[in-house]
Structure 1
Amino acid sequence: MATLKSCAVCFREPALQLPRHSYGDSYKRRNAKWRSPQAAIIPNFHLPMRSFEVKNRTSAEDIKSLRLITAIKTPYLPDGRFDLEAYDALVNVQILNGAEGVIVGGTTGEGQLMSWDEHIMLIGHTVNCFGGSIKVIGNTGSNSTREAIHATEQGFAVGMHAALHINPYYGKTSLDGLVSHFDSVISMGPTIIYNVPSRTGQDIPPRVIHRVAQSVNLAGVKECVGNDRVEEYTAKGIVVWSGNDDQCHDARWGHGATGVISVTSNLVPGLMHELMFGGKKPSLNSKLLPLMDWLFQEPNPIPLNTALAQLGVVRPVFRLPYVPLPLAKRVEFVNLVKKIGRENFVGEKDVKVLDDDDFILVDRY
């Protein structure tokens, strides 16, 4: 009881003494010039969580040399949980066919449908199983700077080699806000900035990239605007990966791109490796263009998920709001596989047209 009485006395005393100001006549003067307050940004506020002993610590220079990076698909079990057995097989086939990096939990991997716990777990799992054979780039971007910082800290803590960061979408921000957003995360480790205005609703213009490029941690840019933008960056020494599979051959061999961050390589990693490593291959590029066009007729990853299910390498499970392509488009894919050659595609089962009833749509996951 004595302790409680003592605390009660403490509660009655003011916890904080605030200074009193006497504004005098200056407060009343209407002609006083108003000055805009200056934002206070606390640099490196996240540093207490950093570690330089993280497994697979790498540098931006190691990331800059990667030519084929696969935006890897995330497969699911019938209840909507991750199918790690199928996922491991997908990553392993990428390694065997020469892919040098994987984006984990990107748009193709449906990071937008994951909880952050799932997100970080999958990054850590990929590092643990494959980090010695392939570079693991975790998508830890967000439209919230606070979430992007926290996810990036966790991603590097579980060993990812680099982070992928998108510009804040939907709410968007000013160009100065973009710089501040990227500056808040780039100090943690090698970073790829992803520019895809069709999804974010806002282009990241070159003057923002040039300011962020002052950091040694900028590995480069995944650019979806087009090859003129690619060449603008590469001419100034900024590493660029094409974000458009149908433009990546010309980007690589005609506009200075280092390589591609690819969706198509989920399906034909060997052919995409040849496209990025084998010099100019216009005939191979022409051969693959119908497949690339098919893959982007609906928002990614809808066609890819449909294709991998018909190849028998993932279960035909979709997390809503994604749903499979209609039957006519599924038939088109089977014909494309036969034309390009089944031996060039992942998996060992015969490709087949799945019926509507074969697909499972999960709305609680």
Structure 2
Amino acid sequence: MLFLLNRRNGRWRSPEAAIIPNFHLPMRSLEVKNRTSAEEIKSLRLITAVKTPYLPDGRFDLEAYDALMNMQIMNGVEGVIVGGTTGEGHLMSWDEHIMLIGHTVNCFGGSIKVIGNTGSNSTREAIHATEQGFAVGMHAALHINPYYGKTSLEGLVSHFEAVLSMGPTIVYNVPSRTGQDIPPSVIHTVSQSANMAGVKECVGNDRIKEYTDEGVVVWSGNDDQCHDARWGYGATGVISVTSNLVPGLMRELMFGGKNTCLNKKLMPLIEWLFREPNPIGLNTALAQLGVVRPIFRLPYVPLSLAKRVEFVEIVKQLGRENFVGERDVQVLDDDEFILVGRY
């Protein structure tokens, strides 16, 4: 008999794990593997899901990445998600992924919290990547629920418990991408872990209030709702895509008190960014601003010429000085973009 049913909580546990929890994980030792506490992560108000730039051959453009990171730090961003959906972690090998986390920690870890997206729909891969991420110094992990090959609610709890033992963790709920909502019952169960920093929640502000009323830390995962989430529903802050472009304005939105005027002013940019699946809009915008090269890893392709013209107008309305980079915003011709399928 390979597994036993624990009748008290209804979850499957192996007999070995019942004696020595997670006995197979090298992270389980008496040494302190991560010196950042979950409490430090809980206080972050503005976290950028940072973009990964590329060279013409599809490799990482670390010079452009470092410049982008410096812009985030100079404008008061407190944390970054490395290799998230926005950073195209799903288009990286795990070697690339862990290297970029390590590079970010090495260069910027003293100035900003580095949260590595080490989640996977495979618990085995999530464990291994998280172990490596903490080994190279990341301050916290971001973990999504298993997608595509979905599991039961009991399976969700077991999956998260397997990775929570390693260090501070943010659970990411985005049913539009995973096809499965993480219900409050699961969050309440895994929140008992001392390493549970909080939830990046994309379902909406009513769900956020449900959690914050019960003391669970939440970051809005929706830029268009983050102002109200922060000032009306109890969210600690936002994990933002838009802050790649206008980090100073997003900081003001999260730190400066209720500001419906600024929130309304940002809406045309936010709506433009998400007309096509993220990160298509962001990749196009950063290329137009001259901050990254106009290079896309397939299957992503740039926005249409008409939408690029529209972005130029949005920049003019918000003020070029509020955006990252120093070059004038350009429309760019179609043939200026490079699409890379092999990298």
Alignment of 1:128-277 (within 5 A): 128-277=106-255
1:358 and 2:307 matched: no
State the TM-score, normalizing by the size of structure 1.
Answer: 0.89
Alignment match of 2:270 (pick from 280, 292, 308): 292
CA distance in 2, matches of 1:37, 1:233: 32
Amino acid at match of 2:199: V
SS in 2 for 1:343: helix
Amino acid at match of 2:220: S
- 1:305 is matched with 283
- 2:9 is matched with none
> In 2, are the aligned partners of 1:50 and 1:153 still within 8 Å (CA)?
no
- How far is the alpha carbon of 1:350 from its aligned partner? 0.2
Amino acid at match of 2:154: D
SS in 2 for 1:48: coil
- How far is the alpha carbon of 1:49 from its aligned partner? 3.7
SS in 1 for 2:26: helix
Q: Which consecutive aligned stretches of 4+ in structure 1 deviate over 2 angstroms post-superposition? A: 36-43, 45-54
State the TM-score, normalizing by the size of structure 2.
Answer: 0.94
1:335 and 2:313 matched: yes
CA distance in 1, matches of 2:209, 2:221: 14
Q: Percent identity?
A: 84
- How far is the alpha carbon of 1:45 from its aligned partner? 2.9
SS in 2 for 1:290: helix
Amino acid at match of 2:221: G
- Rate the CA distance shift 1:46–1:161 in 2: closer, same or farther, 3 A: farther
- 1:12 is matched with none
Alignment match of 1:78 (pick from 36, 48, 56): 56
Alignment of 1:2-81 (within 5 A): 38=5, 39-41=12-14, 42=17, 43-50=21-28, 52-54=31-33, 57-81=35-59
- How far is the alpha carbon of 1:57 from its aligned partner? 1.8
> In 1, are the aligned partners of 2:44 and 2:237 still within 8 Å (CA)?
yes
- How far is the alpha carbon of 1:301 from its aligned partner? 0.2
SS in 1 for 2:81: strand
CA distance in 1, matches of 2:26, 2:41: 25
List runs of 5+ in structure 1 lacking aligned partners. Answer: 1-35
- 1:24 is matched with none
- How far is the alpha carbon of 1:50 from its aligned partner? 4.7
Larger Rg: 1
Deviation track 1:232-289 (CA, whole Å, cap 9, x = no partner) reads 0000000000000000000000000000000000000000000000000100000001
CA distance in 2, matches of 1:48, 1:278: 44
CA distance in 2, matches of 1:263, 1:142: 21
Q: How many residues align?
A: 329
- Taking only aligned residues, the RMSD between alpha carbons, in angstroms, comes to 1.1
- Rate the CA distance shift 1:218–1:49 in 2: closer, same or farther, 3 A: closer
